[in-house]
A and B are shown apart, each in its own frame.
Chain A
């Protein structure tokens, strides 16, 4: 169990557009993610889930409020600092976003080589191990076009986790997967994240994966309307899980 805060969001407001078309997307968001927690962010389309995810992932500039990631204040942070911080995160996208010209192994290698100075041999070894962990050791030299949807997403999981990120941000990672593949991917994220103390923030509409969450945050119209302890966190109380999440 660790109470180390990975992400701390305070009174976060965000707008899109300008002038008369300016529209507020997030309202007074307060949220804290601690090391090793597995948080699911739910809500209807347009509720602000993805905006919140991109703000937490240093992919969008913070306009008002405070977002502290790994001890760094993101508001007004220079682009170079944000780039370095992103190297400590893992991203999993709905469309997996694997590079079509690269093999599964090469895609995962890219998750290692983002840190300068990692020898090629070591990067390949780490990537091979990561693919082995997600059960794709026999598909390392396949290009994405020759992998199934579930296999692609598992490669994306390996790519996100291979660099031992402090936090994984996942956007609808199971949306395009069948029930079994979705369960596989979430179990992988959960298992590998727990083993490494990785914090996970996952946006989903998929009710099938709620039972894996330590905490379930629900956003509606840009506001957090509920913050519930997830079934997995219930098991925390019985000594199975690390990490906590809170919303203020």
Chain B
């Protein structure tokens, strides 16, 4: 490290020598930076997890356009949509298929635990609207009260889930009915439910008798290959004369849901503030360390000033110290952050993990904010008056 800094700055690595001269204080400073990194990692990990969990159900379907109620900010929120609009949409020459999507939460009381499935009611005769991994099993849903369940659902023992086959089905009670799980797929727990479940629209209406077959939660549309989705959406806007609808591309619906979760829902805002607080804590810690270090060495700095060293030299020392703290504080922060996210992911089954992009982003942020703290701390250097040395 010392040689690297000497090579970078072209002089004695005074910042490094100052920091390492008092090892106890140096380790405490590194711990502080690492702590701030862990805070940011955990909050970012949860935010990323929220993004992954929000987008996960969208990955279970394949569609080009989604029609939802105006107040449907998320897949499992909002009013219903009249099925008649799907029939109206077929009037557009580019719309080749449509399917009503029903969404509801169905709890499975397992005695010691409840597993809440975000349940999708779909037309089993429309395999083109679901992800290929599920499409092959869709015919199973044509039988009433049959389900395909999420083998990664929170609270569902993995060995129990792995044993579910058409030959070895699993029956369970939910919403006052007995469902039979004939197969599984890989979903995963989210913030709104413990996992996902597919049933036919008819089974869905049996589970949720208050719902009407004429009013699904969303309408999914497929377009002919090569069709311009934006142009079709514009045409549908004139074809469907309802003001209380949102007609969006399927991808846009997913992204709007994500934005809503991150910026409108309390959990997203809280996690966002968590990241901000982590950054501020890191900024304050590095500032305090560097500021105290400048104060401790004012006499030495004043001596260097007297010798003819200019402002850039002092800025270089503080930036050097900030870089050392940022770099060396990041590594333990990364290790501890990874361990915590892995542990939290295992406990909650949320998609919590350290990603290279997250590590890189936090690394760059750590270095940038450490240097920023250093630049702020150099203001104290003005107190180093060489005339006071005599």
Question: What is the count of residue pairs linking A and B with beta-carbon distances less than 8 angstroms?
Answer: 71
Chain B's closest residue to A124 (CB) is B12
Residues 6-55 of A at the B interface (beta carbon under 8 Å): 50, 53-54
Pick out which of these stretches binds chain A: B207-215, B301-309, B343-351, B364-372: B301-309
On whether the beta carbons of B18 and A93 are closer than 8 Å, the reply is no
Pick out which of these stretches binds chain A: B99-107, B109-117, B167-175, B382-390: B382-390
Q: Give Cα A89 to B17, complex, Å.
A: 26
Residues of A within 8 A of B304 (CB): 110, 114
Pick out which of these stretches binds chain B: A65-73, A80-88, A188-196, A224-232: A80-88
On whether the beta carbons of B390 and A99 are closer than 8 Å, the reply is no
Q: Give Cα A10 to B3, complex, Å.
A: 49
**24 CB-based A-B contacts, threshold 8 Å:** A53-B390, A54-B387, A59-B387, A59-B389, A83-B308, A83-B309, A84-B308, A87-B307, A87-B308, A93-B390, A97-B299, A99-B297, A99-B300, A99-B303, A100-B300, A101-B14, A101-B18, A102-B17, A110-B307, A111-B307, A113-B11, A114-B304, A120-B6, A120-B10
CB of A109 closer than 8 Å to a CB of B: yes
Q: Give Cα A189 to B105, complex, Å.
A: 89
On whether the beta carbons of B307 and A102 are closer than 8 Å, the reply is no
Q: Give Cα A83 to B12, complex, Å.
A: 20
Q: Give Cα A111 to B387, complex, Å.
A: 18
**Interface residues of A: mostly helix, strand, loop or mixed?**
mixed
CB of B265 closer than 8 Å to a CB of A: no
Q: Give Cα A94 to B390, complex, Å.
A: 7
On whether the beta carbons of B306 and A102 are closer than 8 Å, the reply is no
On whether the beta carbons of B390 and A114 are closer than 8 Å, the reply is no
Contact of B389 among A93, A106, A114 (CB under 8 A): A93
Residues of B within 8 A of A102 (CB): 12, 14, 17
Contact of B17 among A57, A97, A101, A203 (CB under 8 A): A101
Residues 282-313 of B at the A interface (beta carbon under 8 Å): 297, 299-300, 302-310
Residues of B within 8 A of A109 (CB): 12
Q: Give Cα A91 to B388, complex, Å.
A: 13
Q: Give Cα A113 to B17, complex, Å.
A: 16
On whether the beta carbons of B389 and A97 are closer than 8 Å, the reply is yes
Q: Give Cα A87 to B306, complex, Å.
A: 8
Chain A residues near B (Cβ < 8 Å) = 50, 53-54, 57, 59-60, 80, 83-89, 91, 93-94, 97, 99-102, 106, 109-111, 113-114, 120, 171, 203
Residues of B within 8 A of A84 (CB): 308
On whether the beta carbons of A54 and B21 are closer than 8 Å, the reply is no
On whether the beta carbons of B306 and A106 are closer than 8 Å, the reply is no
Contact of A86 among B21, B307, B390 (CB under 8 A): B307
Having A80-B310, A97-B300, one finds 6 other A-B pairs with CB under 8 Å, namely A85-B308, A93-B303, A99-B300, A101-B18, A113-B12, A120-B10
Residues of B within 8 A of A99 (CB): 14, 297, 300, 303
Closest chain-B Cβ to A156's Cβ sits at a distance in Å of: 9
Q: Give Cα A120 to B386, complex, Å.
A: 26
Chain A's closest residue to B17 (CB) is A101
On whether the beta carbons of A110 and B12 are closer than 8 Å, the reply is yes
- As a 0/1 sequence over residues 40 to 69 of chain B, the CB contacts with chain A under 8 angstroms (1 = contact) are 000000000000000000000000000000
Q: Give Cα A110 to B317, complex, Å.
A: 13
Residues of B within 8 A of A203 (CB): 390
Q: Give Cα A203 to B11, complex, Å.
A: 32
On whether the beta carbons of B309 and A114 are closer than 8 Å, the reply is yes
Residues of B within 8 A of A87 (CB): 307-308
Chain B's closest residue to A60 (CB) is B387
On whether the beta carbons of A57 and B306 are closer than 8 Å, the reply is yes
Closest chain-A Cβ to B4's Cβ sits at a distance in Å of: 14
Residues of B within 8 A of A97 (CB): 299-300, 302-303, 389
On whether the beta carbons of A101 and B308 are closer than 8 Å, the reply is no
Which of A57, A84, A97, A113 is most buried by chain B, counting CB atoms within 10 A of its CB? A97
Residues of B within 8 A of A91 (CB): 303, 306-307, 389
Residues of B within 8 A of A106 (CB): 12, 17
On whether the beta carbons of B6 and A101 are closer than 8 Å, the reply is no
On whether the beta carbons of A86 and B308 are closer than 8 Å, the reply is yes
Given A99-B14, A101-B21, A106-B12; A171-B390 close (CB under 8 Å): yes
Which of B17, B307, B389 is most buried by chain A, counting CB atoms within 10 A of its CB? B307
- As a 0/1 sequence over residues 216 to 255 of chain B, the CB contacts with chain A under 8 angstroms (1 = contact) are 0000000000000000000000000000000000000000
Closest chain-A Cβ to B25's Cβ sits at a distance in Å of: 12
Chain A's closest residue to B16 (CB) is A101
Chain B's closest residue to A115 (CB) is B308
Closest chain-B Cβ to A62's Cβ sits at a distance in Å of: 12
Residues of A within 8 A of B18 (CB): 101
- As a 0/1 sequence over residues 156 to 191 of chain B, the CB contacts with chain A under 8 angstroms (1 = contact) are 000000000000000000000000000000000000
Chain A's closest residue to B304 (CB) is A110
Closest chain-B Cβ to A57's Cβ sits at a distance in Å of: 7
Residues 1-32 of B at the A interface (beta carbon under 8 Å): 6, 10-12, 14, 17-18, 20-21
Residues of A within 8 A of B307 (CB): 86-87, 91, 110-111, 114
Residues of A within 8 A of B11 (CB): 113, 120
Residues of A within 8 A of B299 (CB): 97
Chain B's closest residue to A57 (CB) is B306
Q: Give Cα A111 to B12, complex, Å.
A: 12
Chain B's closest residue to A84 (CB) is B308
